[in-house]
Every structure is written in structure tokens, then in C-alpha cells.
Amino acid sequence: MSVVVELKNIHKTFGTNHVLRGVSFEVHRGQVAAIIGQSGSGKSTALRCMDRLETIDSGELNVCGHALHDPKVDLKPLRRDVGIVFQSYNLFPHLTVEQNVTLAPRAVKGMKASEAQEIAAAVLAKVGLKEKMGAYPEQLSGGQQQRVAIARSLAMEPKLMLFDEVTSALDPQLTGEVLRVMEQLAADGMTMVLVTHEMAFARNVAHQVIYMRDGKVHESGTADILRQPSTRELADFISADA
């Protein structure tokens, strides 16, 4: 399997705050990697570096063949290859669901309206919302809005999907809606990296679990590490989450 994401000794500081302290791991095509850890452990910063929303201070970071440690890297092809979904849905309230989903394919890829509409229908069907194409965001539940946000990223046909705590603002029922969509993406072979507190999802779906602590990868491995952690710190984290 080819490597889609590769972090080598990544360091990142914000002022005097050393957020990432030599983070290294890789994710292969078709894999789901779950990054877990306490708040402030560097999880979301590591994820945001993968889409060049944050720049690294040192180390090597390669994503979908793009060298993100190179200050001259062209971000346009990176944005086509990588989709990212956040905790906040960031939908345009004045646009319909269909318009939100077709905006990027038309603006970035120069796609014809008819082709973009076909793709919108397909990706909205994938997230179970094809019947909501004409609705506006305010007419949708939080779970539905998050599923539209996922569809919007899928419309760009990315090679990699990043998810940053996408269910943390949702109640349990709506969380289940979104996680089922992500499970289906995983079953379809989408390469995914997600920052999550959903331990059951990580146990059942992730090929790789990365436990971060104090800006470092403290423990990593298959989902078995959530059942039999090797370190006291991960064991304490899992028991506190239970």
C-alpha cells in the first residue's frame, strides 16, 4: 500500500507554546487513522498541518505526494486532493444544499453546472440527503448540516479526507447519523484521518490509532491498543473516557 500521509519529526510552536514535539507517523491508502488524546495534546494542530492550514516549523510532511514542508508548495492541487471537515459546518446560509456542494467543483475545477449537479446528487445520496438538495442550512438539523459538509468535500473527489472532531457539537442521535456516513466511507476505501473522542468508532473502524500526549505520539498501533494499552497514560485516558 502506498503512503498517503507521512509525518517525520514534525515540530510546531505558537509563540512560546511548543505544540508538536517531534511527531512522526504515516497513513497508507485506504486506511482510517484515528488520532486521540486529551485537549491540548496537539491532535487538531497535527491534522490542520496536513491541509497546510498551519505551517510546520521543522520536519518533513508529505500528503498525497505534496511536500508541505516546502515553503513554495503549490496549494491548489493539495486542496483538490485533500478534503477537510470541521466541528463547525461552515455552510453558506444563503445558498441551498445543492449550491453549497457544487460551489467548489465549479469554482476550483471549472466544472459545468450540469456535471456539478450530477456529482452533488451522487454525494448527497451517499450521505442520505439527496431529498434535501433544495433546502437551506437553517432548515436542517446539526447532523444533517454536518453530512452536507462531508458531501461538499466528497464532491471534490479527494484522495484523503480529514475530520476534526466532527461530532463533538452533536447530540448522540445526530452523532450516530454522521458516524454511519463515515463508516460507509471507510468501507468504500476512502483514506481518512480523524481527530475524535468517539472510542467505539475508533475501535470498530480505525486501522490505526494514534494516542497523542504533550505534543508527542505517546502510543500507536492497531485498534487493539484501545483494548490492551501498553502505557499507563493511555489506559488512564481510555478509563476516563468510558
- Predicted confidence band at 36 (pLDDT cuts at 50, 70, 90)? very high
Q: Name the strands in the sheet holding 58-63, side by side, starting at the edge strand that comes first in the sequence.
A: 17-28, 3-14, 58-63, 66-67
User: What band does 84 get if pLDDT is binned at 50, 70 and 90?
Assistant: very high
Query: What average pLDDT score do residues 41-50 get?
Result: 96
The C-alpha atoms of residue 212 and residue 224 are separated, in whole angstroms, by 16
Query: What pLDDT, in 10s, does the model give residues 116-144?
Result: 999 999 999 999 999 999 999 999 999 99
pLDDT of residue 139: 96
Task: Indicate the angle between helix axes 97-109 and 113-126, nearest 10 degrees.
Answer: 130
Any idea which residue has 471534490 for its cell? 156
Domains and CATH numbers, the chain: 3-241 (3.40.50.300)
Range 154-172 average pLDDT: 92
